[in-house]
Amino acid sequence: MNCYNHQTQPAVAQCTDCGKGLCGTCASLYQMPLCTSCNKSRITSERSGIIKEMLLTFGVGAVLAYFFFQWTNGGHSYPLLYNIISFVIPFYVFSGIIPGWKTLTRITPSVFLFLPIIGWVLFFIMKFALSVGYILA
């Protein structure tokens, strides 16, 4: 078998995805032996995977934050700022759940995992401060 790109070169490897023959030069283009078209489709599916991941992440974040907001603020009328904060912080915190375990951990390592915890702490501090301020006002 000869290289798919260079018909005169003998193949030393095969594309991992489609099995086309690759010469030494072509086999070492990417991290693993891949032909150009398979590499492209891998990049495309990886990108759409990341986009899906982000949609899922922020979708989950928004839904959980909404229920959390209903649970904590339900039936009461608080000042607007209080409402904004008590939605934004859970949204931020809950949005950190999925990336913690999945793809985005590769891009944003360990630091990201700690942020949700800091978010929770900030949330309770601010909630407490605002409640006190609200009672005193």
Q: Is 85 in the site for Zn ion (CB under 5 A)?
A: no
First to last CA, the chain: 82
Nearest approach in angstroms of CB 2 to Zn ion is 9
Question: Quick one: which segment of 20-28, 84-92, 93-101, 121-129 binds Zn ion (CB under 5 A)?
Answer: 20-28
- Nearest-5° Cα angle at 97, 85 to 45: 120
Question: Which tokens hold the place of 27?
Answer: 């086999």
Q: Which is nearer to Zn ion, 1 or 129 (CB)?
A: 1
Q: Give the three-class secondary structure for 117.
A: helix
Nearest approach in angstroms of CB 44 to Zn ion is 14
Residue closest to 130 by CA, chosen among 88, 99, 100: 88
Binder of Zn ion out of 3, 65, 89, 93 (CB under 5 A): 3
SS (H, E, C) 56-74: HHHHHHHHHHHHHHHHHHC
Question: Quick one: which segment of 30-38, 51-59, 89-97, 128-136 binds Zn ion (CB under 5 A)?
Answer: 30-38
Q: Is 35 in the site for Zn ion (CB under 5 A)?
A: yes
Site size toward Zn ion, by CB under 5 A: 10
